[in-house]
Structure 1
C-alpha cells in the first residue's frame, strides 16, 4: 500500500489569484507559513518555509511550476524512529507534493488539489503522512478564508 493522500478545496477566486497566493512568499506568509516564506516558487528553485508550530526554516525544492496549472515540490520527511536512534542517514528522505489548479464556474472559482506521496511504509511514515494531510487541508482552509474574506485562520494558533 502506497502512503499518499489528496485534499481539495473550492475557492471563490480565479485561478490567477489562487496560484499567486501559493507561489508568492509574501502572500503565503499571510495565511500559511506562520514564520514566513522566503523565495518565489519557480522551477528549479529552493525556497524556505517556516512555521511557528514546527520551528526552523524548511527547505522546499521546486521541481516544476506550470503557471496557473500545477506546482510540484519535494521536501524532507523524517522517520522519527530512525532519528531517535541517531541513524540520521536512514531517517531523512523526501516526499513529493503536487498541487493542481482547475478553473470552475467560468473562471470565477478554483478547485485547488494538493497531493503528497513518498513516505516509507512504516508506522512512522503513516503517522507523518497523517500529519501532513492535516497540514495541507488546514492550508487549503486558511487560504480560502484569507483570499475570500481577508481572515488569517492561523493567526495566534501556534504561539
Structure 2
C-alpha cells in the first residue's frame, strides 16, 4: 500500500497570479499560514511556515520551483501527532486553462508509514490541503479568508 493522494481545485485567475499566491510569503500568510510564512518558495531555500491554530513554526524545504508551473516541497511528517524525523514530498502543479484565465492547482503528497498512524496522518493532510485550496480560491478570487477559526 502506497499512502499518497492528489487534490485539486480550479481557480478563476491566471497561473502566474495563482502561483504567486502560493510562493509569496505575505500572500500565503493572508489566507493559509495564519501564524505567518517567512521566505519565498524558491528552489534550494528553506522557509518557515507557522499556523495560529497549530502553534510552532516549522521548516519547509523547497526542492523545486518552476514559476507558474510547479513547486516541490519537503516537510516534516507527523504521525500520532508527533514528528517522525522523516519528510514527505509535496508537489503543487499549476495548469493554465481556458487561455490562462483559469488555473487548475493540484497538490500531491506521499511518504507516510504503511501503518494506521500513517494512514490517519495522510487523511489529516489530505483534509488540510483540500482546505488550503478552498482558502486559496476564496482569497484570490474574492479576498475572503476562510481559514481563520477553521480548526480552533
User: Which TM-score band (shorter chain)?
Assistant: over 0.9
Instruction: Give the Cα separation in 2 of the matches to 1:142 and 1:79.
Output: 25
Give 1:70 deviation, angstroms: 0.5
Counting helix residues as a fraction of each chain, which structure ranks higher? 1
Q: Which aligned pairs between 1:120-159 and structure 2 lie closer than 5 A?
A: 120-158=113-151
| Matching residue of 2:60 | 60
- Give, in angstroms, the shift of residue 158 of structure 1: 4.2
Q: Which moved more, 1:71-80 or 1:35-44?
A: 71-80
User: What is the rounded CA distance, in whole Å, between the counterparts of 1:131 and 1:157 in structure 2?
Assistant: 14
CA distance in 2 between counterparts of 1:58 and 1:143 reads: 21
The aligned residue for residue 24 of structure 1 is 24
Greater strand fraction, Structure 1 or Structure 2: 2
Unaligned runs of 5+ in 1: none
Distance across 2 between alignment mates of 1:106 and 1:42? 26
Q: For residue 106 of structure 1, what is the aligned residue in structure 2?
A: 99
Q: Secondary structure at the match of 1:129?
A: helix
**Per-residue Cα deviation, 1:124-154 (whole angstroms, up to 9, x for no partner):** 1111100000000000000000011010011
Question: What corresponds to 1:117 in structure 2?
Answer: 110
Report which of the two structures shows the higher radius of gyration computed on alpha carbons. Answer: 1
**Structure 2 CA distance for aligned equivalents of residues 64 and 138 of structure 1:** 23
Shift of 1:79: 2.9
| Secondary structure, aligned partner of 1:152 | coil
Take 2:39 and 2:143, find their aligned partners in 1: how far apart are those partners? Answer: 23
| Residue aligned with 2:93, SS | strand
Partner of 1:51: 51
